Structure 1
Amino acid sequence: MSAHILKLITTGILLVAVIVLPSSISQMVFSSPPLSSTESHWTTGTPIPTARSEIAGAVLDNKIYIIGGFDNGGRSTSTVEVYDPTIDKWTSIPSLPQSLDHTAAASSNGKLYVIGGGYLGRDSLSDKLYIFDPQTNNWTEGANLPSVRGALTANFINGTLYVTGGVDSGNTLSSTLVYDPSADQWTKKAPMPTSREHLTSAVVDGKLYVIGGRINGMAFNVDANEVYDPATDKWTILDPMPSKRGGLTSGAVGGSIYVFGGEQPTGTFSNNEKFDTVTNTWTTEANMSTARHGLAAVAIDNDIYVIGGGPQPGGSSTDVNEIFNTIDR
């Protein structure tokens, strides 16, 4: 694909940074405006042992699980690696029952849940629900999703698993699916106002915030920001994200959601934009050091661990483990 100039306009300012790749193909890295106020700061942790992109991440017992994804060769992997922030060290656990990329993960009641995704080198999608119990060190299966889907999101709210968006065999999805672990059963809830995949989500005060994503390919990123209230089974449209981004990730600290990375056909994003759920406003935070897409973000206390991803659009991967400390803000 030949490179072309893509204008990214943020608050009326054109910002373009060009990286020259070894192949002489220029890829753009899109970033937010520099901050004039005191910034929160980034540090680095031990890199993930297996460089990967299109991964899923979740926290369980204050340890970070990074699941599946594409390896350096662009192949789906079943690898699961666990990071302990207290000692800055990685370990491995038994692999997924199958290789998966573009999957989603969440944890509840001492177990890790991995939902949907792709396999067989992007050619197929999964309807599987895999459950890992660290007490037995084994994977089991829950009830299958009602239909196959990848590039989705998953979050627990009060012990119930909420799965939103994604893509099936040919359609971008708006559906909201709910899984009850005690009944091992899926039900449907109100769909999102905006169909999208390669989206991100976070939970604040018992509500599900779903942000960004894309429709029918990375050239059609969206800035949608919508919140779901499980108590009323209703969605509300909020102020859009300042930038249109798909292939992104997010982490919530307090009442704020920090949204990282993403991709377009000509480049990747280093953006870090914060949404205040109380005031319904966005602000720009300190950019990631490594622009990338298909990454994972996991929040523990005041830190958000932003791991892996692809530094170029499409098939690429990195092993970076960058940590954003939010306490200064």
Structure 2
Amino acid sequence: MSSYSSSESEDGSVNGGDENFPPFCANGDLVSTRLTIVVGGTHFTEDKMLLVRNSDYFRALYRSGMRECSQGKIHLKSLGPKGFIIALAVLRGDMPILDADEIVEAIECAAFLQVGQLTKHLVKLIDSDNCFLMYHTAANFGLMDLYHATAMFIRNMYVELESEVRKTLPTELVTYVESLKPSVLVAVGAHVTCGANDTIHTDSRTVCYLDETENIWKVLTDLPLQASTSMAGVTVLDNKLYVIGGVDGLHKQVVEACFVYCVDNNTWSRISSPKQLRYNFSLVGLDGRLFAVGGECDRTLMSSVEIYDVITDTWEFAAHLPRPVAGAACTKAMGRIFVCLWRPMETTEIYEYIAREEEEWRLVTTLIKQQSYGHCMVGHKDNLYVMRNGPSGDFLRCLMDCYNLTTGEWTSLPGHFTNSRGALFTAVVRSDLVLTLNRSMTLEYAVEGKTWKPRRQMKGFPRSGTVWTFLMQLPDELMLQ
């Protein structure tokens, strides 16, 4: 975990500071200056703007007109210094991995100072070892976003955790967990557009989910007739399914129509199309936005990237990739987006999207191994798992390597991941479990450390060709159809 030093004179005042500086300019904007915060006897000297922009507590304080907002020193008597150090680390872009004591202090700080960025970081750290501590502590401090996220994590692993839940948690917390809908595995295959009378194709143009109790795939909804999932961008964001672009016909005519499916009312709606029509691209959703990465148009590879804002229904161009790519493996981990790019000889490069004043795709790491061409990349906590061809180009067996974002180290997972009747191209993470899918079987793995341990086998998705998988929470009325 990162910590930060403070600058303080012997008498406790801020070095070079003024105890009575005005906090705002004449137009009401906050003056950017240094501020001393005393937390549990420890003095921190920080940029006031950093605190005001990221903490509802400090924002309210400096808009209140109270005497404290004109002082150069503030005492926070209700907090411990460790939680404040963690908050500062997160606000500066660090991703500290926390032990039990640090988690408690971080939750207390996030709740008291209302630091949304710290809350989001805590959500990223939820795992089977700390979920009960996080859930109970978040309930005690009223940190509702973390409270819900942790309850959802527990709900998605309820088969494994139920006995411990009932022994460990108060009744009201158990009741809330059991009231949530678990995330189910949803899949859709590749289909082109079709006419209303094309019954041969319309019967198979469905989005399906796996009923794990009955071990059978059931139809969730039909695709819109104008929608194509062939070489399209398909993903789920905030429990809504998006289908962007794709192609139609042998000549790969780009489909302009884009759709979103809402499970709450079981309806499809049209949304705006990207400025640059594309197919065979990667689509990933994060923080209310969709990222359309690379792809092709008129059989030409592209490096362009567009971002779709769900609220405004608009697309804007983002930083280009370092080079053109189509069908790249793409994932998110720790609230960040990563993409695999390949180059001879047998080299996989992983880039991260950096959204700052000068946005860019920054090289994170390079993997050079035989058959290192990455088919699929999955993020779990601070690990990126890259699946690649098996030995001697054996497409029926995948090898897997893990890159840890915190340590910057690569490790190889032991054994092979068998993919009879087709290579494994799709996998999703559900709490501390991973679901992989092909025509023969759905395999569930438990992530323990950096190792995937087979847990159970279920029915495969009975469709040929490309398949997209994702998790969704479905209302009872849809699952009872």
TM-score range, shorter chain: 0.5 to 0.7
1:283 Cα deviation (Å)?
Answer: 1.6
Distance 1:61 1:122 in 2: 41
The residue that corresponds to 2:367 in the other structure is 241
The residue that corresponds to 2:355 in the other structure is 230
After TM superposition, the structure 1 stretch with the greater mean CA deviation from structure 2, 196-205 or 83-92, is 83-92
Distance 2:409 2:213 in 1: 33
The residue that corresponds to 1:81 in the other structure is 208
The residue that corresponds to 1:301 in the other structure is 431
1:202 Cα deviation (Å)?
Answer: 1.2
1:231 partner letter: R
After TM superposition, the structure 1 stretch with the greater mean CA deviation from structure 2, 160-169 or 274-283, is 274-283
The residue that corresponds to 1:272 in the other structure is 400
Task: Show structure 2 runs of 5+ residues with no match.
Answer: 1-180, 193-200, 451-481
1:245 Cα deviation (Å)?
Answer: 5.2
Tell me, yes or no, if the aligned pair for 1:127 and 1:147 is still in contact at 8 Å.
no
Between Structure 1 and Structure 2, how many residues are aligned?
254
TM-score w.r.t. the length of structure 1 is: 0.67
Task: Show structure 1 runs of 5+ residues with no match.
Answer: 1-59, 309-317
Task: Mark the CA change 1:85 to 1:225 in structure 2 (over 3 Å): closer, same or farther.
Answer: farther
Residue 386 of structure 2 corresponds to residue 259 of structure 1: yes
**Equivalent residue for 1:173, pick from 302, 305, 309:** 302
State which structure, 1 or 2, has the greater radius of gyration over its C-alpha atoms: 2
Residue 282 of structure 2 corresponds to residue 156 of structure 1: no
Instruction: Show CA shifts across 1:57-101 (max 9, x none).
Output: xxx961222122279xxx997332112557644221222223422
Task: Mark the CA change 1:65 to 1:222 in structure 2 (over 3 Å): closer, same or farther.
Answer: farther
Residue 257 of structure 2 corresponds to residue 147 of structure 1: no
Instruction: Show CA shifts across 1:275-321 (max 9, x none).
Output: 2122233221143111644722111111221212xxxxxxxxx3432
Q: Which structure exhibits the higher relative contact order, with contacts defined as CA atoms closer than 8 Å and separated by 6 or more residues?
A: 1
After TM superposition, the structure 1 stretch with the greater mean CA deviation from structure 2, 257-266 or 232-241, is 257-266
Instruction: Show CA shifts across 1:34-69 (max 9, x none).
Output: xxxxxxxxxxxxxxxxxxxxxxxxxx9612221222
1:150 Cα deviation (Å)?
Answer: 2.2
Distance 1:129 1:261 in 2: 31
Tell me, yes or no, if the aligned pair for 1:114 and 1:130 is still in contact at 8 Å.
yes
Tell me, yes or no, if the aligned pair for 2:296 and 2:302 is still in contact at 8 Å.
yes
Instruction: Show CA shifts across 1:95-115 (max 9, x none).
Output: 222342232322223311122
Residue 314 of structure 2 corresponds to residue 193 of structure 1: no
Instruction: Show CA shifts across 1:249-283 (max 9, x none).
Output: 22211111212246999752512221212223322
Tell me, yes or no, if the aligned pair for 2:398 and 2:418 is still in contact at 8 Å.
yes
1:187 Cα deviation (Å)?
Answer: 0.2
| Structure whose residues are more often strand by fraction | 1
Q: Secondary structure at the match of 2:324?
A: coil
Distance 1:122 1:303 in 2: 40
Task: Mark the CA change 1:64 to 1:191 in structure 2 (over 3 Å): closer, same or farther.
Answer: same
**Equivalent residue for 2:443, pick from 318, 322, 325:** 322
TM-score w.r.t. the length of structure 2 is: 0.47
1:192 Cα deviation (Å)?
Answer: 1.2
Tell me, yes or no, if the aligned pair for 2:245 and 2:256 is still in contact at 8 Å.
yes
Instruction: Show CA shifts across 1:5-62 (max 9, x none).
Output: xxxxxxxxxxxxxxxxxxxxxxxxxxxxxxxxxxxxxxxxxxxxxxxxxxxxxxx961
2:265 partner letter: T
The residue that corresponds to 2:19 in the other structure is none
Query: Equivalent pairs: percent with the same residue?
Result: 17
Tell me, yes or no, if the aligned pair for 2:289 and 2:310 is still in contact at 8 Å.
yes
Task: Mark the CA change 1:122 to 1:139 in structure 2 (over 3 Å): closer, same or farther.
Answer: farther
The residue that corresponds to 1:283 in the other structure is 411
1:170 Cα deviation (Å)?
Answer: 2.1
| Structure whose residues are more often helix by fraction | 2
Tell me, yes or no, if the aligned pair for 1:247 and 1:263 is still in contact at 8 Å.
no
1:281 partner letter: E
Distance 2:319 2:218 in 1: 39
The residue that corresponds to 1:136 in the other structure is 265
